[in-house]
Structure 1
Amino acid sequence: MTARRLAILWSVAIVVACLVPGQGLPSVQIVSFDKLIHVLLFVGFGLLWMRAAPGVPGRILLTGVVFGIAIEVAQGTLPVHRSADVFDAIADAIGVVIGVGVGRWLFASDSAT
Structure 2
Amino acid sequence: MPKQFYFWAALTWTGLIVFFCLIKSSDIPAIQITNLDKVVHSFFHLVFTSLWFFFFKKQINSSDVFKPLVVSFIISIFFGIAIEIAQTLFTTTRKGDLFDVLANLSGATLAVCIILFFNKYTNLNKV
**TM class by smaller structure:** 0.7 to 0.9
Identity of aligned residues (%): 27
Match of 1:89 in 2: 101
1:73 to 85, 89, 98: 85
Please point out which of 71, 76, 83 is paired with 1:64. 76
Give the 3-state SS of the residue equivalent to 1:26 in structure 2. coil
TM superposition shift of 1:31: 3.6
Give the aligned residue type for 2:10.
A
**Structure 1 position 49 matched with structure 2 position 52:** yes
Unpaired runs of 5+ in structure 1?
none
How much does 1:12 deviate?
Answer: 1.0
Instruction: Give the direction of change, closer, same or farther, for the CA distance of 1:112–1:85 in structure 2 (3 Å limit).
Output: same
**Kept in 1: contact 2:53–2:72 (CA 8 A):** yes
Distance 2:16 2:87 in 1: 15
1:27-80 Cα deviation digits (max 9, x unpaired) = 344341110000011111111112212341111111100000000001111134
Q: CA deviation at 1:104?
A: 3.7
Contact 2:10 2:55 in 1 (8 A): yes
The number of residues matched between the two structures is 113
Indicate if the aligned counterparts of 1:75 and 1:82 stay in contact, CA closer than 8 A. yes
- What 5-or-longer segments of structure 2 have no aligned partner? 58-64
What secondary structure is seen at the aligned counterpart in 1 of 2:44? Answer: helix
SS, match of residue 93 in structure 2 = coil
Shift of 1:101: 2.6
- TM-score (structure 1 length as normaliser): 0.86
Question: Which protein shows a greater Rg?
Answer: 2
| Aligned amino acid, residue 79 of structure 1 | T
C-alpha separation in 2, matches of 1:102 and 1:51: 13
Distance (Å, rounded) in 2 between the aligned partners of 1:106 and 1:10: 22
Q: Is the 8 A contact 2:22 2:91 kept in 1?
A: no
Q: C-alpha separation between the residues in 2 aligned to 1:5 and 1:105?
A: 25
